[in-house]
């Protein structure tokens, strides 16, 4: 079974979305975890925008990367530049991949504009996860 760790700054939006999609697309062939260099809790807007696409991430948890230092992964994916800078070398033989996605939690504007930012990031992450599955599994 292939194992993946998705890293982000706060493990609240981008890494949570990627975890949700990778679990959905990878099925039983993929074991997926996500973590952050900090923990901010799973963002309720991320939960909502993912549910609009049929993915339930409401039971996922926000975890620190330190919790996974003793595990071996096949892939470690950083989904923001900050996480890549803070954790440039994950202590594992995992293949390291990186794709910076905009942080929807920093979106400004009214509720509709903020949710549009979440949807844009979600769609980018979905496409990345679909391509990851095709390329690496």
- Active site (catalytic) residues: 8, 80, 87
C-alpha 113, offset from chain centre: 22
Q: How far is CA 51 from CA 3, 47, 69, 71, 80, in A?
A: 24, 6, 30, 30, 22
What's the chain's Rg over C-alpha atoms? 14
Spatial strand order of the sheet with 75-78 comes to 30-36, 2-8, 75-78, 95-98
Strands 2-8 and 75-78: parallel
């Amino acid at each position: 079974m292939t194992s993946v760790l998705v890293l982000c700054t706060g493990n609240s939006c981008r890494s949570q979305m990627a975890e949700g999609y990778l679990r959905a697309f990878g099925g039983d062939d993929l074991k997926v975890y996500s973590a952050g260099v900090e923990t901010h809790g799973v963002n309720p807007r991320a939960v909502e925008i993912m549910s609009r696409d049929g993915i339930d991430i409401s039971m996922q948890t926000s975890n620190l990367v330190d919790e996974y230092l003793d595990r071996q992964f096949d892939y470690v994916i950083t989904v923001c530049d900050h996480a890549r800078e803070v954790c440039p070398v994950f202590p594992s033989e995992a293949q390291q991949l990186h794709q910076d996605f905009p942080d929807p939690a920093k979106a400004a504007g009214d509720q509709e504009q903020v949710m549009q930012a979440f949807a844009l990031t979600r769609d980018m992450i979905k496409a990345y996860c679909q391509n990851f599955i095709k390329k690496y599994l």
